Amino acid sequence: MAEKTPNQQLAEKLLFKPAYVGDKSAAVKQEAHAFAEGYKKFLDAGKTEREVAAESEQMLKDAGYQQFDPKKTYAPGDKVYFSQLGKAIVASTIGTRSFEDGFHLVIAHTDSPRLDLRPTPLYESDHFSYFKTHYYGGIRKYQWGTMPLAIHGVFSRADGTTVSVNVGEDENDPVFCITDLLPHLGAEQGERKLSDGIRAEELNILIGSDAVDDEEVKEAVKLNTMILLNEKYGITEKDFARAEIEIVPAYKSRDVGFDRSMIGAYGHDDRVCSYAALKALLELETPTKTAVCMLADKEEIGSMGVTGMQSAFFDTFMEDLCESQGVALRVCYESAFCLSSDVTAAYDPNFAEVYEKRNDAQVNHGLGLCKYTGARGKGGSSDADAETVAYVRRVMDEAGVVWQIGEMGKIDAGGGGTVAQYMANRNITTIDAGVPVLSMHAPFETVGKLDCYMNYLGCKAVYLA
């Protein structure tokens, strides 16, 4: 091999070339593929925030975590968790150092864009029965037509009992759909803007066409549908007003590509980070600083509500832990560090015009660090300082985690926010990092297996730092 010229040596020393995880050893690829199998099972088991919380709680129990008791004092190595209304989870492994020295936190969110049933959703039209929906989060409405859909959620009955609903996932289940026009009659619809290809009031779920055999009943198809629901779940139409019913894609996660290097599924945003954060926590023994994993709800609509990141339940959990050691919560927060683990947009060569390739994350190039998110002039971003970025880079480099820097496309092309700002508002040093996603917020998103694995290693590195 020819000896490198002085300028070639300087280029290696001074210039930055993003790493490609595929250049790592074959063992890393094997580990990434093995990790992906567990992640796919997690995805398929939890398509709603309630289901993710239930799956996470079971994983915590299986790993020896106990329900948190604020009256107890916990010792290094103790493992505790708390479930907020069965829709959000916070878990911790107690470290050897005092809470006075802070803690290491990884947060992610478990909700994903979807369709929710409206309070009075059931209606009949021209011998079809339908559910009216209200979309949740930032969806591209036209993407939800003509695909198999499943119905998940809970009904709260008049007597206070709750019944779960999950129809469309088993191969023997019926599925549901939103119909669309055939091309032969779609000329006028084709003149609409893409965002109006299917309008919000057209996102109606087709659920039946059979009727009761009684000419005196005006809404015979609707009644037949309601009879079936009553027989299976013991509900009446009034009970929809006290239900949480969500419409999600009916298919399972699948490998993508001849090489199986990617995963296609509903809900990567942000369950790919939720799984990594939780899986990394479960494998800890006794960390130096206390490790905390927070899986929150409601991020897609602003983190509001009692299960969202703006809720006080996280502060209550941490305050109880701190009080057991006689440490003020504010002192703990001042010394804490948070990795806000949320996905970022992956550069897509098909739509290169809205990306800025030098500053956007790419699939299978590693964990995407995001110094800031927000829209246009960094609006809605916590914007991590230089010292925080340097700290995270050092932690990742020392742990052998392949990382890259990511933004959300061209400056004025759009943008997006995360929950990082809510931790920063608590005076906790925070930075965003996550997996690059193709087709983000679509019913079928795509991620690279190597990125998923690096995200998991990154979460573990933060817990152990």
pLDDT (0 to 100) of residue 434? 95
Give the per-residue SS3 of the chain. CCCCCHHHHHHHHHCCCCCCHHHCCHHHHHHHHHHHHHHHHHHHHCCCHHHHHHHHHHHHHHCCCEECCCCCCCCCCCEEEEEECCCEEEEEECCCCCHHHCEEEEEEECCCCEEEEEEEEEEEECCEEEEEEEEECCCCHHHHCCCCEEEEEEEECCCCCEEEEEECCCCCCCCEECCCCCHHHCHHHHCCCHHHCCCHHHCCEEEECCCCCCCCCCCHHHHHHHHHHHHHHCCCHHHHHHEEEEEEECCCCEEECCCCCEEEECCHHHHHHHHHHHHHHHCCCCCCCEEEEEEEECHHHCCCCCCECCCCHHHHHHHHHHHHCCCCHHHHHHCCEEEEECCEEECCHHHHHHCCHHHCECCCCCEEEECCCEECCCECCCCCCHHHHHHHHHHHHHCCCCEEECCCCCHHHCEECCCHHHHHCCCCEEEEEECEEECCCCCCEEEEHHHHHHHHHHHHHHHHC
Q: What is the pLDDT of residue 69?
A: 95
Mean pLDDT score of the chain: 94
* Residue pLDDT, tens place only, 303-335: 999 999 999 999 999 999 999 999 999 999 999
Whole-prediction pTM: 0.95
pLDDT digits (tens, 9 = 90+) for 9-55: 999 899 988 788 877 778 999 999 999 999 999 999 999 999 999 99
What is the pLDDT confidence band of residue 390, given thresholds at 50, 70 and 90? very high
User: pLDDT at position 417, please?
Assistant: 78
pLDDT-based confidence at 1, cuts 50/70/90? low
